[in-house]
Structure 1
Amino acid sequence: MDTATPVRRKAPRPRADALRNRERIVAAAREMFVEFGADVPLDEIARRAGVGNATLYRNFPDRDALQREVVCSVMDRTSERAETALAEDGDAFEALGRFVHAAADERVGALCPMLSGSFDRDHPDLLAARERLEALVARLMDRARTVGRLRPDVAVGDLMIALSQLTRPLPGTACLNFDHFVHRHLQLFLDGLRAPARSELPGAAATMEDLRRA
């Protein structure tokens, strides 16, 4: 009797065109979630991505799977922005500021409406993406705080709350032009983070754990 250990075959790698289709779907979904909200019809997302409905559902069997991929994608892209800022020489606070403006362009606030209801916030992919982003932002803030450029009474949660609020699309088409003011208002916020502080903040610094409990 042959007792040789069977050879396990590796799963075939996705074809390049299949990967491109998946990336197009995620990009289209991100755009449409920002423009129309989390309940935009999946058929419309497929149309914008230039793929058939069957292709969309082959990659993402339901809305939750697609929303999770979009959230992970945005967090990963934002993490890459943080890594770029950490690699820069020069003023640590200015590097933090460049990250904040770059993160705003990822429209992280548009994801907030998706993080409710049946959305699984504890999915392993989400946890990994979130932990990576939190650690990188904490490093950026710690570096600016160490050299005395960031006020000591703020934490990662404060920064992420401000980013979420200032980049969240306002309801109604009449408010679309407000997006033009995002970077202006972010700069006002950043000026408030500079040390020495000119005021005493009420309450305690917001941590990411505080946000998860909320």
Structure 2
Amino acid sequence: MSTSPPRRPLRADARRNVELLLAAAREVFREQGVDAPLDEVARRAGVGNATLYRRFPTRQALLEAVHQDLIEALHVRARALLEDPSPAEALEVWLRELAGHGSSSRGLTATLTAALHGQNAESVCRELVVDAAGALLERAQRAGAVRSDVTVVQVLRLVNAVAFATEHEPDGPRQAEHLLGIVMDGLRHGSPAPSSPR
């Protein structure tokens, strides 16, 4: 059990600065993409760069904070879907929702990509998304409903690739829906790949 003391709540002024930074970041990332200068985020929030970097030391930390509510909602949704009588359908519903959000929410795809490839063990985004998808995938694999030779990170990378490919398309969510159907067909009906020689 961790003996670390609980984090103290932010003072009102610090909390207000965080809210201003997140609102400005959403606006800047929506307009300019996730590679927009972070100085612009600080400027629009009306705070100094030091305040920005004290609260969000990296771009990824800021991106994860911007999308935290959505990521937490996806985690809750996955837990609810574990009660679905069809493990494969529950997995498919969740993956489609993830891809749909990614193709329509500029920046979510980049956030998840960095989280899945990053080495930051404290990434809340990675922890929540991998936990959510992993529970649904494991349940479907135990039921024999999807192939057993794929990992949760591989599945998430496939879904993220679909979202990335459709993110800027006028009919992105519709295209993501179609491509996810192909991914799910592969997960359901594909034969396990031959084992690599040891």
Same fold (TM over 0.5): yes
1:86 aligns with 2:86: no
Q: Secondary structure at the match of 1:167?
A: helix
Q: Is the 8 A contact 1:96 1:140 kept in 2?
A: yes
Tell me how large the CA RMSD over aligned residues is. 3.9
Alignment correspondent of 2:139: 143
Distance 2:51 2:159 in 1: 34
Deviation, 1:123, is 3.9
Inter-partner Cα distance in structure 2 for 1:14 and 1:169: 41
Q: 2:96 is matched with which residue?
A: 101
Contact 1:28 1:45 in 2 (8 A): yes
Contact 2:149–2:193 at 8 Å: present in 1 too? no
CA contact (8 A) 1:38 1:114 kept: no
- The gaps in structure 2 that reach 5 residues or longer are 1-6
Shift of 1:142: 0.9
Question: 2: CA distance between counterparts of 1:72 and 1:31?
Answer: 14
Letter in 2 for 1:191: D
Out of 171, 177, 183, which is 2:170 matched to? 177
**TM-score calculated relative to the size of structure 2:** 0.66
Cα gap change, 1:87 to 1:188, in 2 (>3 Å): same
2:162 aligns with one of 166, 171, 176: 166
**In 1, are the aligned partners of 2:162 and 2:180 still within 8 Å (CA)?**
yes
The alpha-carbon distance between structure 1 residues 193 and 77, as it changes in their structure 2 partners (threshold 3 A), is same
Runs of 4+ more than 6 Å apart: none
How many matched pairs? 181
CA-CA distance at 1:133 after TM superposition: 3.1
Q: 2:180 aligns with which of 157, 182, 186?
A: 186
CA contact (8 A) 1:72 1:125 kept: no
Once the two structures are TM-superposed, the CA of residue 40 in structure 1 deviates from its matched residue by 0.7
In structure 2, C-alpha distance between the alignment counterparts of 1:110 and 1:70, rounded to whole Å: 8
Task: Give the corresponding residue for 1:60.
Answer: 53
TM-aligned CA distance change 1:92 to 1:72, over 3 Å: farther
**Identity among equivalent pairs (%):** 25
* 1:133 aligned onto 2:129: yes
Question: How far does residue 19 in structure 1 lie from its aligned partner after superposition?
Answer: 2.8
Contact 2:112–2:126, Cα closer than 8 Å, also in 1: no
AA at the equivalent of 2:61: R
How far does residue 80 in structure 1 lie from its aligned partner after superposition? 3.9
Structure 1 portions without partners, runs of 5+? 1-9, 206-214
- 1:49-73 per-position Cα deviation (integer Å, ceiling 9, x unaligned): x52142x641434985243232365
Structure 1 residues 139, 11: CA separation in 2 closer, same or farther (over 3 Å shift)?
closer
CA shift, 1:168, in A, is 1.8
How much has 1:157 moved relative to structure 2?
A: 2.3
Structure 1 residues 161, 30: closer, same or farther in 2, change over 3 A?
farther
